[in-house]
Amino acid sequence: MVSDNSHNPAEEVRIGFFICHCGVNIASKIDVAEVAKFAETLPGVVVSRDYKYMCSDAGQDLIVEDIKNFRLNRIVVAACSPFLHEKTFRTATQRGGINPFLCHMVNIREHGSWVAEDRVTATEKAKAMAQGGVGRVRRHVALEKRREPVLQSVLVVGGGIAGIQAALTLANAGKHVYLVEREPTIGGHMAQFDKTFPTLDCAACILTPKMSEVGSHPNITLWAYSEVIHSEGYVGNYKVKVRRKARYINEDECTGCMECVEHCSFKTGVVDDEFNVGLVKRKPVYMSFPQAVPKIVVIDPLTCAKLSGGKCEESCIPACDRQALDFTQTERVEEIEVGAIIVATGFKTFDAKRKPYYGYGDFPNVYTSLEIERMVTSSGPTEGEVVCRDGRVPKSVGIVHCVGSRDHQTNRWCSRVCCMASLKLAYLLKEHTGAEIYNFYIDMRTPGKGYEEFYERLLEEGNHFIRGRVAEVTDFAMRPEEENHLIIQVEDTLSGYVRRVPVDMVVLAVGIEPQADASVVRRLFNISCSDEGFFLERHPKLAPVSTATEGVYLAGCCQGPRDIPDTVAQAGAAAAEALALLDPGFVEMEPMTAYVENELCSGCKTCQTMCPYGAISNDAERKIAVINPMLCKGCGTCVASCPSGAIHQNLFDDQELFDEIQEVLAHA
């Protein structure tokens, strides 16, 4: 790291200016030749060129050659966003034989041509921006990237299929994985399904082997019923605190025999069973489902008679021949250090009560798709039997698509899986009951391998498809055949008239939305959300599993709605990114850290409160501030606070910015 940002006055600044056409992306709105000609007149510019594609090999070679031929020692590339090609051009600069940080990019595409209406003003704006870049690059000095070791372990947050897949991939590659799952078991939503579209293979058959592999993998530390409560550090070196909630069960002793559940003083369930989405009740001591991993029961302190403060005969305790029950257990906080973090916290389904005219919660025979998923599962609460809440086996079922999705009043986005999940449920319901099935859809969205074929199969098998957004579900009968039925009122947009379809059962295909605590999780890991609240990837196409925070990756539905095949693929990609980070054993840190010019520091301590990472300390002996470059992340907040101008920041030093401000404004 260079600790002296002052100029070497002996060195003559020789700048090369390169402006890119980006095909027509830039050139159509900006007269690049004119800008190049203008840049040539700026002090220090030795050579100025425009070129079709600067990022192409030939474009980069132009820089390399010019550095050699014109003895250039500063480079300005006016092209796209530095987020896209800063690395490219820095590397080219380095190939030319000078320090990569002597290159600066000016963003005339995203901030210029693409937002411009008028060619003349866009060209003038580009000139100003070019002048700003040339102005600042004069001040650039050579900088070195610091190397930091990378810890060889990864934290995966969330144990749905995304987290499971990512954890296994990493563990199989020999990295240690901490898998933290909030619920008592891993599995996520997929564990709740009976079959998966479009192949209709049994969810449990493909998921449970993976779950048990996680449970027994030597490289995986599985902490279910746990939550990350704090995270700090930087790429390759994160310190994380995990709260492990008390299960009131000695985990080493419990074998999952469920004798305690059997013998609980409550003879029947007392509270809604979360795993079965409230279709049945569970006891205070329970296991989510028989194949749960870890295969350990848990006691819910809110309903347990003893733990909630009441009296209980504690019949569960003697029931366990391994004395695994432990009412004295308290929560623990584990501290771990990891090199990378994969966030795979999944989604929640849309709350159907937010669409009151669909009658969910009012009419007992209105269900959500997730409830039906449980109902059709042979190991589910009804053992696969489809019966309405009023005890009837439905003879007709209406499936309403897009509930909460593609709707400006609720969620604007398409949840991507509901059409296919509805088709799957249509198939299963018909199979289980032989009922007439009516699908109410806005558009059928079946993009995916074998998806359209599945849709066709359902069409052929005599399912009804009615195109139109359902207006209302009501029990108000207007005709005799509507008596004792739920009536789905819809405008059939294919035939053009309003229809009332009487059915016994209504299934609401609820959409996918961000977890309720997404904004908390996001802050924990210092990542952003897109407008809808799903976690934001660094680039939608080029870095879809990375985030703006180095070393934090995304997998699964926490980043946006997707089906299982896509989730698994994405989880693999996230694992690959983490591996690519871990494997070299070190990371190169951006050099834009801050440092104190000792002689100028008065020890006023203003900066000490500024640093969010505690990088600044007070040297008691010399009575000055000292910045630890390992901890500094280069925000520059302390720099701006120092009343003596004693703190400098590499690449963003006062002089660089003053010059950029002056020059970018100099062009009228």
Binding site for other proteins (CB under 8 A): 81-83, 107, 109-112, 114-118, 121-122, 124-125, 128-129, 132, 519, 523, 526, 528-531, 536, 548-549, 592, 599-606, 608-610, 612-613, 618, 623, 633-637, 639-645, 649, 652, 654, 657-658, 660-662, 664-666
Taking CB under 6 A as the criterion, the residue among 344, 397, 470, 624 binding ligand FAD is 344
75 binds ligand SF4 (CB under 6 A): no
d(CA 668, CA 663) in angstroms, rounded, equals: 10
Beta bridge partners, 513, equal 348
196 binds ligand FAD (CB under 6 A): yes
- Residue 611's nearest CA partner among 587, 623, 628, 624 is 628
506 binds ligand FAD (CB under 6 A): no
Q: Which is nearer to ligand FAD, 182 or 401 (CB)?
A: 182
Residue 645, phi then psi, degrees to nearest 5 = 60, 30
Q: Which is nearer to other proteins, 269 or 603 (CB)?
A: 603
Taking CB under 6 A as the binding criterion, the range among 94-102, 340-348, 376-384, 635-643 that sits at the site for ligand FAD is 340-348
Q: List the single partner that 556 binds among ligand FAD, other proteins, ligand SF4, none, CB under 5 to 8 Å by kind.
A: ligand FAD
d(CA 43, CA 37) in angstroms, rounded, equals: 13
Q: Do 228 and 524 form a contact (C-beta atoms < 8 A)?
A: yes
601 binds ligand SF4 (CB under 6 A): yes
d(CA 392, CA 486) in angstroms, rounded, equals: 13
183 binds ligand FAD (CB under 6 A): yes
Q: Which is nearer to other proteins, 8 or 495 (CB)?
A: 8
Place of tokens 């009131």: 248
Q: Do 536 and 514 form a contact (C-beta atoms < 8 A)?
A: no
Residue 29: CB minimum distance to ligand SF4, A:
12
Specify the pairing of strand 15-20 against strand 45-51: parallel
Q: Which is nearer to ligand FAD, 135 or 398 (CB)?
A: 398
Number of residues that bind ligand FAD (CB under 6 A): 39
Secondary structure of residue 494 in the 3-state scheme? coil
3-class secondary structure per residue, 83-135: HHHHHHHHHHHHHCCCCHHHEEEEECCCCCHHHCCCHHHHHHHHHHHHHHHHH
- Residue 182's nearest CA partner among 200, 167, 160 is 160
Residue 198: CB minimum distance to ligand FAD, A:
8
104 binds ligand SF4 (CB under 6 A): no
Can you give the length of the chain in residues?
Answer: 668
Which helix (H) or strand (E) element contains residue 69? helix 57-69
Question: What mask of x and - would describe binding to ligand FAD in positions 351 to 380, judged by CB under 6 A?
Answer: ------------------xx--x-------
Q: List the single partner that 615 binds among other proteins, ligand SF4, ligand FAD, none, CB under 5 to 8 Å by kind.
A: ligand SF4
182 CB-side CA count, 13 A? 15
Taking CB under 6 A as the criterion, the residue among 167, 632, 651, 664 binding ligand SF4 is 632
Beta bridge partners, 554, equal 343
Q: Do 202 and 195 form a contact (C-beta atoms < 8 A)?
A: yes
Taking CB under 6 A as the criterion, the residue among 159, 404, 502, 634 binding ligand FAD is 159
Q: Which is nearer to other proteins, 29 or 355 (CB)?
A: 29
Residue 295: CB minimum distance to ligand SF4, A:
45
269 binds ligand SF4 (CB under 6 A): no
Q: Which is nearer to other proteins, 341 or 435 (CB)?
A: 341
Q: List the single partner that 370 binds among other proteins, ligand SF4, ligand FAD, none, CB under 5 to 8 Å by kind.
A: ligand FAD
Q: List the single partner that 632 binds among ligand SF4, other proteins, ligand FAD, none, CB under 5 to 8 Å by kind.
A: ligand SF4
458 binds ligand SF4 (CB under 6 A): no
Secondary structure of residue 76 in the 3-state scheme? strand
Q: Which residues, 383 to 422, sit near ligand FAD by CB under 6 A?
A: 417, 421
Q: Which residues, 32 to 51, sit near ligand FAD by CB under 6 A?
A: none
d(CA 79, CA 62) in angstroms, rounded, equals: 14
Q: Do 457 and 200 form a contact (C-beta atoms < 8 A)?
A: no
Q: Please give the distance of CA 534 from its chain centroid, rounded to a whole number.
A: 6
Taking CB under 6 A as the criterion, the residue among 212, 549, 606, 655 binding ligand SF4 is 606
DSSP for 323-375? --B-TT---EEEEEEESEEEE---EEE--GGGSGGG-BTTBTTEEEHHHHHHH
Report the interface residues with ligand FAD, using CB under 6 A: 157-163, 180-183, 188-190, 193, 196-197, 227, 344-347, 349, 369-370, 373, 417, 421, 424, 512, 515, 521, 556-557, 562-565, 567
